[in-house]
Amino acid sequence: MLRFLRREPGFYRNTWMLALPIILQNLITTSLGFVDTFMVGLLGQPELSAVTAANTPIFLVQIIIFGLLSGLSVLVSQYWGKHDTEAINRCMGIALYTGVSLAALIALALFLAPRQVMALVTDNALLIRLGAPYLRIVGISYVFNTASSVYVGVQRSTENPAMGLTVFTISMVLNTFLNYVLIFGKFGAPALGITGAALATLTARVVEFAVTFLYALRDRRVPLAPAALLHPGTAFVGDFLKYSTPVLVNDSLWGLGTTLITAVIGHMAISEEMLAAYAIMGNIEKFSTVACYGISGASAVIVGKRIGQGASKEEVYEVSWCMLLLTVLVGLVVSASLAALLPTVFIPYLYPLFHLEGLSLEIAATMCVVFVFMMPTKAFDITNISGVLRAGGDVRVSAVIDVGSVWLVALPITALSALVFEAPVALVCLGIQAEGLSKVPLGIWRLRSRKWINDVTREGTS
């Protein structure tokens, strides 16, 4: 197995050149998101729990966007291998029409019925009252974010991940500054609390969109082709739907399953403590997986480009296993680091910083212990599902593996342990992370079949 790690000269340099900007982008986004969580946490545990609950439907929007971009990358990376920029514009146009329309519909629902949506996540009246104004405003921001993310995804799939790093850094720095101003009422602004956090997010997303649009007008690597962008053509719509719809459905159903897991937590007798601990663990998990998502993004580009260039199935298979082994090694290093940080940093310093005490602190520590053991499987799953299998065009089977593991493993275990049997917190936390237990063996089975390696680009488009 380790023989797959022996690659040609320059391979790892190219891999890290692709992965590092994605890692830095995710690291900056996660760091500033951590600061946002800290600022809201300073308002109190109920406010932190309310924003965690409110962000649950927002998470579903983010997952839909991610699914759309994953499907887009399947086509764009292979067209980039053929340097067909007109076809790339057509794919981007379809993604914009689809993504912005979906985001607008969800934003409208969140704006018109925020309390009803909050009630689906938690039955705690205080959390519903605190979170509804936040949800109404922040949903609008993702209409702008969807448009920006589609273009950034195209640039990433054409070997320019640094563009996204720049755009999202500007957006998140502005978001954090405005959070400080509007949450606490600095520089003469009113102290708006949770509502101020939502307004800060909306403003930052509008600026993010403006920066992206100006960059797109000036870019010459993948120049905009208005005719292809605005009128993609039915043939390309067919291609996009064939390879993107399963990915979009995959990530939407996966996100819905994960959202329901959060809703289960929100309906526990100790929902406030669980949601507060879950918010902190969410940030720790994001920090822990930034490198894995960077390798996954690089894998999608490398595997897709190799297929577009006509590489043999065996070559694609070996390159894919190289990327998977690389991300598992990273996962093991992260697990060891978290195991060392939990007793030395998290319990004595980090958790009290967010006012986690007593039961909340105990739950947060338990969540971290479970995650330490599951991290290597999560690393493998991230690169396998989002990187390798999708880049190979195997969107249907990867969707079955991804969605089935949440709906048939993680969600039932969490619901039964939390609401039916009222099991110890450790078993509930294991249920939350249990999807990796089935994804890994199923993923390995699919990889070894080699049936997932397909050329998904249309003939005659180069």
Per-residue model confidence as pLDDT tens digits over 249-296: 877 788 888 888 988 998 898 988 998 899 889 889 988 999 999 999
Residue environment code for 8-24, b if the CB has 16+ CB neighbours within 10 A, otherwise e: eeeeeeebeebbbbbbb
Q: Tell me what the mean pLDDT of segment 233-249 comes to.
A: 75
Q: CA dihedral in degrees (269, 276, 251, 169; nearest 10)? A: 170
Percent of the chain with pLDDT over 90: 42
Q: Which amino acid is at 239?
A: D
- 375 and 284 Cβ atoms separated by less than 8 Å: no
- Give the three-state DSSP class for 188: coil
pTM exceeds cut of 0.75: no
Q: Which two tokens stand for residue 113?
A: 């019925």
Q: pLDDT band at 456, cuts 50/70/90?
A: very low
Q: pLDDT band at 454, cuts 50/70/90?
A: low
Query: Which residues fall within 8 angstroms of residue 409, CB to CB, at 6 or more apart?
Result: 434, 435, 437, 438
Nearest to 392 by CA among 293, 459, 316, 324: 316
CB atoms under 10 Å from CB of 112, counted, come to 11
pLDDT of residue 457: 45
Q: Does the structure show a pLDDT above 50 at 459?
A: no
Q: pLDDT band at 387, cuts 50/70/90?
A: confident
Angle at 395 between CA 372 and CA 447, to 5 degrees: 60
Please tell me the distance from the alpha carbon of residue 305 to that of residue 322, in angstroms, as a whole number: 16
Q: pLDDT band at 332, cuts 50/70/90?
A: very high
Q: Does the structure show a pLDDT above 70 at 81?
A: yes
Query: Which residues fall within 8 angstroms of residue 329, CB to CB, at 6 or more apart?
Result: none
CB atoms under 10 Å from CB of 437, counted, come to 15
Per-residue model confidence as pLDDT tens digits over 36-46: 777 888 888 88
What ranges make up the beta strands (E) of 100-141? none
Please tell me the distance from the alpha carbon of residue 261 to that of residue 431, in angstroms, as a whole number: 9
Q: Which two tokens stand for residue 115?
A: 């309390």
Q: Which two tokens stand for residue 459?
A: 């003939």
Task: Look up tokens 């039915």; give the residue.
Answer: 234
Averaged confidence pLDDT in the chain: 87
Task: Look up tokens 């998904």; give the residue.
Answer: 456
How far from 215 is each of 24, 147, 153, 172, CA to CA, in Å? 20, 13, 14, 18
Q: Tell me what the mean pLDDT of segment 341-349 comes to.
A: 95
Give the long-range contacts of residues 43-46, CB within 8 A, separation 24 or more: 43/183, 43/193, 43/194, 44/355, 45/272, 45/273, 45/276, 45/355, 45/356, 45/360, 46/126, 46/127, 46/130, 46/272
Q: Which residue has the higher pLDDT, 369 or 72?
A: 369
Query: Which residues fall within 8 angstroms of residue 62, CB to CB, at 6 or more apart?
Result: 142, 255
Q: pLDDT band at 147, cuts 50/70/90?
A: very high
CA-based Rg of the chain, rounded to a whole angstrom?
22
pLDDT of residue 74: 72
Percent of the chain with pLDDT over 70: 97
Q: In terms of C-beta density within 10 A (0-12 exposed, 13-18 middle, 19 or more buried), how is residue 426 classed?
A: middle
Give the long-range contacts of residues 338-343, CB within 8 A, separation 24 or more: 338/284, 338/288, 338/368, 338/371, 338/372, 338/375, 339/372, 342/368, 342/369, 342/372
Angle at 294 between CA 32 and CA 53, to 5 degrees: 45
